[in-house]
Structure 1
Amino acid sequence: MAKARAWAGRRPELGDEPVVREAYRAGVAWLDSSAPDGLATDPRPPVLGMADGNRANYLWDEHDRRVRLIDWEDSGRNDRAFELGELCEHISRLDGALDARRLLALVDLTPAEAGRVRDFRLLIALGWFLQLGPGGPAAPHNPPGTLAVQAERVLRLLG
């Protein structure tokens, strides 16, 4: 939360597209509210998490019919809701290979945890959005148009 709030506070250059400006206004309003504050504490037991939802870190092992995880450099004690949100909203999701709704339907989430996953998804999507503007740290790694696509994603997650 602190990182997303800091990026938003820097007022990143986002260009002139109306959808981008609307997503910025709505995202900042959400960050300025108390809604994300509940994400700081997790009432559930911690999990071992990768803290990196990049799709390239998940390899399908056809022989054993399971997913193998690689790239554990950021791993450690984490929040299950964060891990699910990170997997669903990492910018690599633009490859279109993960159906987040289907994945989450397979996970046994309490209503409270489902709300936490939803809020983490928004926080992570917003964090990527704030990094994608011209001159942003994620801009050079993504094709043209990614900022507008991410703006639409943020607005969709905000409802």
Structure 2
Amino acid sequence: MTVGRCTHSLDIRDDVVVKRYTSWARGEPRREWAALTLLAEHAPGLAPTPIEAALEAHPPMIVMSRLPGHVLRGEHATNEQIMAMAAALNRLHQIPAHAVEAVEPAAWGPAAAVDKTRAWADKQPDLGDDPLVREAFRAGAAWLASTDPDKLTSNPLPPVLGLADGNRANYLWSPDEGRVRLIDWEDSGRSDRAFELGEVCEHISRHDGALDAGQLLPHLDLAPGEAGRVRDFRRLIALGWFLQLGPDGPATPHNPAGTLQRQAERTLHLLA
């Protein structure tokens, strides 16, 4: 979960994109190159094709193929787009577990999300005086104090390669082909599928346009019992964003007025 962080610049050419990293303390270039290489082998066409890398340069640089289409952030996702998103996610999560096991853990995952969300709640952030917002905080704090979040830190299922970022700006829609591809792999790594799906459903970018999770989830190949974990990760991620949306919160400057109230409603709905 990242707020207001820009780690790179893009030089978009006719057939390739040159990505230069402006910060790389968390191994962003290495993560992205590893993911693109794995995807080229096991799911070609789902992401940019890796062409060249200078991972030890200053700044580090990756050259990758340029893909057609436009990002889904800012749009009300149509049924066709949702079906294409589901197809892309299913294909991504079918990469063999033995290949994913060799990848380092993603930069953002279940344990970090539980710890950070509890830490934000413990700080008693200033969320204003709106009664709905206060109710959402009370309900969220009670859920965080339960044992449910702790159960999310242990994954009973094989790992998947994950973006570790549900921002819909990472989903590239090609209307001519009717397909979605995935971009921006700098936070990627070995991850928990239920966590990844929770990120997709509840990332704060859902307020910039619309994505109906109720339409998306039925098209995903969930394992028995996985739906409950997806539900709880959705609660966790929605609550994490909610806690950052107070008057002085780190997520507030990047979102339109009224986002806190809408996120309060969303949090209460998910916790019901």
Residue 254 (structure 2) pairs with residue 141 (structure 1): yes
Q: Which amino acid aligns with 1:116?
A: R
Higher relative contact order (CA 8 A, sep 6+): 1
Residue 230 (structure 2) pairs with residue 117 (structure 1): yes
1: CA distance, partners of 2:269 / 2:208:
18
Report the equivalent of 1:59: 172
Whichever structure has more helix as a proportion of its residues is 1
2: CA distance, partners of 1:149 / 1:121:
15
The TM-score with structure 1 as length reference comes to 0.97
Q: Which amino acid aligns with 2:200?
A: L
1: CA distance, partners of 2:132 / 2:178:
41
SS at the partner of 2:161?
A: strand
2: CA distance, partners of 1:101 / 1:20:
24
The TM-score with structure 2 as length reference comes to 0.57
Structure 1: gaps (5+ residues)? none
Q: CA deviation at 1:63?
A: 3.4
Whichever structure has more strand as a proportion of its residues is 2
1: CA distance, partners of 2:148 / 2:224:
16
Residue 265 (structure 2) pairs with residue 129 (structure 1): no
Whose radius of gyration is greater, 1 or 2?
Answer: 2
Total equivalences in the alignment? 159
2: CA distance, partners of 1:138 / 1:62:
31
2: CA distance, partners of 1:54 / 1:93:
8
Q: CA deviation at 1:134?
A: 1.0
SS at the partner of 1:68?
A: strand
Q: Which amino acid aligns with 2:271?
A: L
Give the counterpart of 2:190 among 46, 64, 77. Answer: 77
Q: CA deviation at 1:97?
A: 3.0
Identity %: 72
Coordinate RMSD, CA, aligned: 1.0
Moved over 3 A (4+): none
